[in-house]
Structure formats: C-alpha cells, structure tokens
C-alpha cells in the first residue's frame, strides 16, 4: 500500500505549469470573475478543510496515490487565459460530479457537502458565463460551423484529458471501495488539496 500520497501536488502540476506559460492578454470580459472566483474557491477550500478535519486514523491504511502522469510536466505550449479558465471549469465540473455521487453519513457532513456543492455550482456558473463571454456572441449557426470545422481537428488540451484520468481514478477508487466511509474521507482530502493548488492558479490569473 502506498502510504505516501504525493498526488496532490501532481494534480496541480498541470495547472501550475499552465499558469507559468500564460501568454494571453487580460480578457475584457469577466473582470470581476477573479475576485468572485478567488473568494468562492477559498470558501470551498475552507469547507473541505473543515470536513476533513476529523480524518479517522484507521482510514490511512486505505490511502491511495492518485497520481497524474508525469508527461504533463513537459507540456510547454504557451497557453491562453481562456485555457486556464477552461481547465479550471473542467476541474470544478469533475469534482462536482464526484460529490454528486455521495451518500450522507451524518447530518453535519450532509450540511458540509451541500455547502461544497453550492460553492462548486457557483464556481461553475461564473466560469460558464465567463467562457461564454469570451467566446463572443456567436450565433447558433456560427457555433455549428465551428463544430464542423473542428470535427476534423479535435484537439482538446491534453491537460484536460489528464484531469479526466485523474478524476476517473478517484471515481474508480470510490466504486471499488463501494463508497465506504474511509474511501470518502480519502477522496475529500484529495480534492481539497487539488482545490488548494488550483487556488494558486487563480492567483496567476489575477496577476495577468
């Protein structure tokens, strides 16, 4: 059993590196997004921290390293502002879907979970709006055109695939452990650390 989870860091490495290679200019829309987003993300980190304060020691045995593949570190294509927001959106969405599978253990946990999901929903709303604004006011026709154009060259950012793989591992872990209490606790800690590092990404967004 791997008792040294060094995952968390690796979860955010793609995010951090993407931040390091920012070359885009500050978008005109979503000006207040950073402020809201930072506030909301911090709230979520604090919520998750509160939840994972009572980590039962016996669950340490089942701890697992949800490692991200190291190839992500070599990803050096200069990324746009939009890509970072996109990655952040996908992270929030994937995390939301993980929490949507939860079964409540106690009323206090239920309350915490609701708060996290509300916070994540907020994050998603801001990001959706922002990404929509950045796309511009495209007509339906334009969007369909884009789809046809892009159908040949489908290239989502590789880091988003890594994000999906990572959350897929977490999801599989939960399923394998049959959503046990310990499994949930481990996942909470994992996602909290992921959020924390995405927070640093938001700081980079802010400085742009």
Partner 1 sequence: MFALLGVVLVAGAPCVLPAAAGGTKLKPPQNVEVDIIDDTFTLRWARSREPAGNVTVSADYRMPRIVDNWTKLPGCQHVTSATCDFSSLKMHVYEEIKLRIRAEEGNSTSPWRELDTFIPFQQARIGPPKVHLEAEDKAIAINISPPGAKDSVMWQQENPQYSVIIWRNASGAQTWNETHHSRFPRIKIHKLVPETTYCVRVKARLLLHWNPAEFSPVHCVSTTVENELPAPENIQVILENDTYVLKWDYTHDNVTFEAQWLKSYLKRMPGSQSEKWAQVQGCERAPVARCAPPQDLFRKGIYFRVRASRGSSSSPWSQEEKFDAGRQVVIPPLIVALKPLSSRSLQVSIGFQDQTELQHSLTYEVRFWENASNAERKTFVEQRADFPVLSLKPRTVYCADAQALLEDGPRSQRSRPSNTACAATEAGGAPGALLVAGVAVMLVLCAALALGKLVHYVFFPAGKPPATIEEYFPEEPTKNLLLSTSVEQTEECFIVENVDAVSAKEVNHLDEDHRTYTSQASQDSGHYSIEDESGESGESGGSQAGEELGQRGAGAHSAGGRFA
**By the criterion CB under 8 A, which residues form the site for partner 1?**
26, 28-29, 31-32, 34-36, 39-40, 86, 89-90, 93-94, 96-97, 100, 114, 117-118, 120-122, 124-125, 128, 131, 140, 146-148, 150-151, 154-156, 160-161, 164-165, 167-168, 171, 206-207
Instruction: Answer whether 183's CB lies under 8 Å from 101's CB.
Output: no
Closest contact distance (angstroms) between CB of 150 and partner 1 is 4
Nearer of residues 11 and 40 to partner 1, judged by Cβ: 40
Reference 84, options 17, 155, 36; nearest CA is: 17
Q: Bridge-partner residues for 22, per DSSP?
A: 79
Choice between 6 and 139, CB closer to partner 1: 139
Concatenating the DSSP letter of every residue in 24-76 gives PPPPSS-TTHHHHHHHHHHHHHHHHHHHGGG--GGGGGG----PPPGGGGG--
Question: Least distance in Å: CB of 148 to partner 1?
Answer: 8
Please name the residue that has the structure tokens 């079964």: 103
Of 162 and 189, which CB lies nearer to partner 1 in the complex structure? 162
In the bound state with partner 1, the residue whose beta carbon lies nearer, of 39 and 108, is: 39
Could you give the C-alpha distances from 28 to 31, 54, 87, 192, in angstroms and in order?
A: 7, 43, 19, 31
Closest contact distance (angstroms) between CB of 132 and partner 1 is: 9
Q: How far is the CB of 51 from partner 1 (least distance, A)?
A: 16
Closer CB to partner 1, residue 52 or residue 92? 92
As measured in angstroms, the least distance from the Cβ of 118 to partner 1 is: 5
What distances in angstroms separate CA 49 from CA 15, 19, 43, 112, 186, one per listed residue? 21, 24, 10, 10, 12
């Amino acid at each position: 059993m791997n008792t040294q989870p060094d995952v968390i860091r690796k979860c955010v490495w793609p995010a951090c590196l993407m931040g390091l290679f920012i070359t885009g200019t500050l978008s005109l829309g979503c000006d207040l997004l950073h402020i809201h987003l930072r506030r909301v993300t911090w709230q979520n980190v604090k919520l998750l921290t509160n939840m994972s304060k009572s980590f039962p020691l016996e669950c340490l045995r089942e701890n697992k390293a949800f490692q991200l593949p190291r190839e992500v570190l070599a990803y050096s294509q200069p990324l746009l502002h939009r890509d970072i927001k996109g990655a952040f959106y996908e992270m929030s969405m994937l995390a939301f879907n993980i929490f949507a599978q939860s079964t409540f253990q106690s009323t206090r946990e239920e309350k915490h979970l609701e708060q996290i999901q509300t916070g994540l929903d907020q994050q998603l709303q801001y990001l959706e709006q922002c990404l929509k604004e950045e796309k511009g006011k495209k007509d339906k026709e334009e969007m369909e055109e884009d789809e046809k154009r892009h159908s040949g060259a489908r290239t989502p950012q590789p880091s988003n695939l890594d994000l999906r793989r990572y959350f897929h591992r977490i999801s599989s872990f939960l399923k394998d452990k049959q959503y046990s209490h310990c499994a949930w606790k481990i996942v909470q800690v994992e996602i909290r650390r992921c959020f924390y590092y995405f927070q640093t990404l938001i700081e980079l967004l802010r400085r742009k």
